[in-house]
């Protein structure tokens, strides 16, 4: 099955008490679907999954499945460095009706190759849905080299990889390829990949989808969006929540240990949004 080309790793909105704002989540999901997103990765890094308890985590997945925009796909983040916990979340998400699960490489405890293979065999047994591997060594310490990805692809239901190690970006037999960083989205499409699991698509989703629809102009469009990519990647999801709040979307703050963008960080985000015409230039002498 196709999961779509522009999958937005959607933020989790919080209210003033930092509880999940369910209405704001559903509203944002529908807004993004109307502006370039083919589907959503929920409860990923950008969704602050690491600070959601299991009840909240599964509730957000339930909301996404129950209120999905027509035609949108839902990919649930269900990874953990505890294999039992990863299997539990994967089984529960499957029962809620997701189209696929995103399973990050186990972090902190640094399993060896045999441990990684065994971990994913167990995760595969917990679902009948496609599994998207998530290789992000900048966050989890260990890397999945392409030869290991090829071996993991032999496990039933492991069908895709979200590649967030730019140096590893390549097609791997048996795996559909998704860009895990916005700045390699165009390269991934050029390689014949499926698309990207993206952050900047919260604010420039239509422009990013044009790179799928207008391949002859892909390089030109990509070059015009570089400032937004850079601004959104400074601290994820701090920058994207700042951008959404500047644009009038109700997404609230962040749970500790993440903190809201400061004045300088907000100014950088604002400048990036101004550069693509999403905000009017700030008058001289005015900040915030």
* Identified catalytic residue from 92, 120, 134, 229: 134
**Residue 229 appears among annotated catalytic residues:** no
Angle at 10 between CA 18 and CA 42, to 5 degrees: 90
Record the tokens describing residue 57, joined without a space: 């985590």
CA distances from 37 to 41, 115, 209 (A): 11, 35, 8
* Identified catalytic residue from 120, 162, 178, 241: 162
Question: Considering only CA atoms, which of 241, 164, 176, 226 is closest in space to residue 3?
Answer: 176
**Residue 162 appears among annotated catalytic residues:** yes
Q: What is the DSSP string of the chain?
A: ----SEEEE----B-TTS-B-HHHHHHHHHHHHTTT-SEEEESSTTTTGGGS-HHHHHHHHHHHHHTPPTT-EEEEE---SSHHHHHHHHHHHHHHT-SEEEEEPP-SS---HHHHHHHHHHHHHT-SS-EEEEE-HHHHS----HHHHHHHTTSTTEEEEEE--GGG-S-BTTBEEEESSGGGHHHHHHTT--EEEESTHHHHHHHHHHHHH-GGGHHHHHHHTHHHHHHHTSSTTHHHHHHHHHTT-------TT-----HHHHHHHHHHHHHTTSSPPPPTT---
Q: Residue for token digits 């990207």? A: 196
Does residue 248 come out as left (phi exceeding 0), alpha (psi in the -120 to 50 range) or beta? left
Return the active site residues: 134, 162
């Amino acid at each position: 099955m196709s999961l779509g080309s522009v999958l937005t790793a959607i933020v989790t909105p919080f209210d003033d008490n930092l509880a999940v704002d369910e209405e704001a989540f559903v509203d944002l999901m529908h807004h993004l679907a109307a502006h370039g997103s083919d589907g959503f990765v929920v409860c990923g890094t950008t969704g602050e999954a690491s600070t959601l308890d299991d009840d909240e985590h599964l509730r957000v997945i339930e909301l996404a499945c129950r209120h999905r925009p027509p035609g949108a796909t839902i990919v649930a983040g269900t990874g953990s460095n505890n294999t039992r916990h990863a299997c539990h979340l994967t089984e529960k998400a499957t029962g809620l009706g997701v189209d696929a699960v995103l399973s990050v490489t186990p972090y902190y405890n640094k399993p060896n190759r045999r441990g990684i293979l065994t971990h994913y065999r167990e995760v595969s047994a917990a679902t009948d849905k496609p599994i998207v591997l998530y290789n992000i060594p900048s966050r989890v310490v260990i890397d999945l080299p392409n030869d290991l990805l090829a071996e993991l692809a032999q496990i039933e239901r492991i069908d895709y990889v979200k590649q967030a190690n730019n140096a590893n970006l390549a097609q791997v037999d048996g795996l559909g390829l998704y860009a895990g960083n916005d700045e390699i989205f165009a390269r991934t499409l050029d390689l014949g990949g499926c698309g990207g699991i993206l952050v900047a698509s919260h604010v420039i989703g239509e422009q990013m989808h044009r790179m799928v629809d207008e391949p002859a102009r892909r390089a030109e469009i990509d070059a015009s969006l570089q400032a937004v990519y850079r601004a959104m990647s400074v601290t994820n999801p701090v920058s994207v929540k700042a951008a959404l709040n500047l644009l009038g979307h109700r997404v609230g703050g962040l749970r500790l240990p993440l903190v809201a963008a400061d004045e300088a960080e907000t100014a950088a985000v604002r400048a990036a949004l101004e550069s693509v015409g999403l905000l009017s230039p700030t008058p001289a002498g005015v900040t915030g």
